[in-house]
Amino acid sequence: MPTVLLTGAAGYIGSHTWLALQSAGFEVVGLDDFSNSSARVLDRLKELGGRTPVFERASVTDAAALDGVFSRHRIDAVVHFAAFKAVGESTAQPLSYYANNVGGLVSTCEAMRRHGVKTMVFSSSATVYGEPKYLPYDEVHPLAAMNVYGRTKLFGEQILRDLEASDPAWKVAWLRYFNPVGAHESGRIGEDPRGTPNNLMPYVTQVAVGRREFLQVFGGDYDTPDGTGVRDYLHVMDLAEGHVAALRHLLEQRASATVNLGTGSGTSVLQLVAAFERASGRPIPYRIVERRPGDLPAFWADATLARELLGWQARRDLAAMCADSWRWQSRNPTGYD
Ligand code: UD1
């Protein structure tokens, strides 16, 4: 079976994809610098996977370290997760975002080229679509980033398009994620943000477990059914399995692809809160506050192409997303620490 290098392997999506790839029979080499993750993930992956994970501690911006990794392992493809992802922070620290997200992508591709590896799955985001011209977003919707983080994803996509055009041996899957939530069914790995969570679900789970007093709902006057923001939440294990499907497509069809990974339906903040209360049996106190600057009212995916091209579709519903997020948070109230 092919060996896959996962950059950002200890992160939220990386760790879940690691398990999904192993279940599908792939060999995995994980790489992470722990700049936004915990080494304890590796113990949990060992426990869940039944073997010691093959792991390299390095930054994707370190060319010499990457050369070492490619020399020690016979890599067939790279799934490139390693990146920073906080919108507010990206505005305050643009250089660190460009260095890590764009610079790290370039150095990873250079190392791949030096070692003859030309197959990559790239973590992009629905944020590259910008203000909706129409909904749902399909893959031909115009692109327009709204902040520094979004630009790092847009530039990353473009760099890989230029690379593929320069050498057709490169095969790339551009995966545009919608809003991943949930955790592995075991409750042993999950999302563990540092500091105050920026995203909705980890904030909700921290309220449920008593780490935060109440949820602030950012805006109650949007033009949506209940006035709160609407997003396409998908279970992180479905997302992980989407990577397996994309990788198989690249390796078997030898064809690049740009694909949305979402469920195809939208859920409001208050609908998510209600579903979480049902799944956890805990009340989630909330207050409706001002809109968060830069937030879009509503967006969700057209998930048709993923089904037709990759044979993938999300299988886990909102109740499962909430139940699994809660299992993880309630059994690990302070995350991995
Ligand atoms: C955010 C980023 C996006 C990034 C994604 C993944 C912004 C503007 N967008 O997406 O670029 O790709 O995270 O990291 O930051 N909400 C609350 N209270 C909270 C948190 C969120 O009401 O405490 C609401 C938001 O207003 C939104 C929804 O919940 O309507 C989802 O928010 P969030 O989880 O932050 O995801 P996005 O904003 O979609």
Alpha carbon separation from 223 to 129, 189, 227, 247 (Å, rounded): 19, 36, 6, 38
Domain span at residue 171? 3-182+233-264+298-315
Report the DSSP beta bridge partners of residue 175: 123, 259
Protein residue with its CA nearest to atom 16 in ligand 1: 200
Token pair of 12 as six digits: 């939220």
Q: Ligand 1 in contact with 216 (CB < 6 A)?
A: yes
Domain at 311, CATH number = 3.40.50.720
> Each residue of 29-76: pLDDT tens digit?
999 999 999 999 999 999 999 999 999 999 999 999 999 999 999 999
- Long-range pairs, 165-170, Cβ under 8 A, ≥24: 167/118, 169/118, 170/118, 170/119, 170/120, 170/256
Tell me the pLDDT of the chain (337 aa) as tens digits: 999 999 999 999 999 999 999 999 999 999 999 999 999 999 999 999 999 999 999 999 999 999 999 999 999 999 999 999 999 999 999 999 999 999 999 999 999 999 999 999 999 999 999 999 999 999 999 999 999 999 999 999 999 999 999 999 999 999 999 999 999 999 999 999 999 999 999 999 999 999 999 999 999 999 999 999 999 999 999 999 999 999 999 999 999 999 999 999 999 999 999 999 999 999 999 999 999 999 999 999 999 999 999 999 999 999 999 999 999 999 999 999 8
| Count: domains in the chain | 1
Q: Which atom of ligand 1 is nearest to the CA of 85?
A: 14
For ligand 1, what atom is nearest to the CA of residue 297?
30
φ and ψ of 231, to 5 deg: -135, 165
152, part of any domain: yes
- Closest residue by Cα to atom 23, ligand 1, is 200
Q: Is 127 in the pocket of ligand 1 (CB under 6 A)?
A: yes
For the chain, the maximum distance between any two Cα atoms, rounded to a whole number of angstroms, is 55
Residue of minimum CA distance from atom 8 in ligand 1? 295
Does 189 map to a domain? no
Which has the closest alpha carbon to 118: 294, 250, 234, 209?
250
The alpha-helical segments, DSSP class H, found in the chain are 12-23, 40-49, 63-72, 87-92, 94-97, 104-114, 148-166, 200-208, 236-253, 269-280, 304-305, 318-331
Q: Can you tell me the distance from the alpha carbon of 149 to that of 70, in angstroms, rounded to the nearest whole number?
A: 28
How far does Cα 211 stand from its chain's mean position?
A: 24
Within a domain: residue 208? no
What would the two tokens of residue 136 be? Answer: 């749902």
CA-CA-CA-CA dihedral for 203, 124, 291, 277, to nearest 10: -30
Task: Report the C-alpha gap between 173 and 298 in whole angstroms.
Answer: 26
Residue 47: CB within 6 Å of ligand 1? no
Distance 11 CA to ligand 1 centre (A): 18
Q: Is there a contact between 107 and 62 (Cβ–Cβ < 8 Å)?
A: yes
Q: How far is the CA of 272 from the centre of ligand 1 (A)?
A: 13
- Residue 292 near ligand 1, beta carbon < 6 Å: yes
198 alpha carbon – ligand 1 mean position (Å): 7
23 neighbors 34 (Cβ within 8 angstroms): no
Q: Which of 193, 189, 195, 104 has the alpha carbon at shortest distance from 153?
A: 104
Q: Which residues pair with 177 in a beta bridge?
A: 125, 261
Evaluate: CB of 217 within 6 angstroms of ligand 1: yes
Give the length of the chain.
337
Does 117 reside within a domain? yes
* DSSP assigned state of 289: E
Ligand 1 proximity of 272 Cβ (cutoff 6 Å): no
Q: Is residue 9 part of a domain?
A: yes
Cα separation, 147 vs 152, in Å, equals 9
Instruction: Name which of 116, 140, 118 is nearest 129 in CA terms.
Output: 140
Inter-residue contact 246 to 256 (CB < 8 Å): no
Q: Is the CB of 218 under 6 A from ligand 1?
A: yes
Residue 282: inside a domain: no
Residue whose tokens read 């923001």: 229
Report the alpha-carbon distance of residue 239 to residue 178 in Å, rounded.
9
- The verdict on pTM exceeding 0.95 is yes
Using a 6 Å cutoff on CB, does residue 200 contact ligand 1? yes
Pocket test for ligand 1, best of 154, 214, 295, 296 (most atoms within 8 A of CB): 295
CA 40 to chain CA centroid, nearest Å:
19
Most ligand 1 atoms within 8 A of CB, residue of 143, 179, 289 to mutate: 179
Q: List the catalytic residues.
A: 149
- Cα–Cα–Cα angle for 60, 260, 276, rounded to 5 degrees: 95
Bridge partners for 284 per DSSP: none
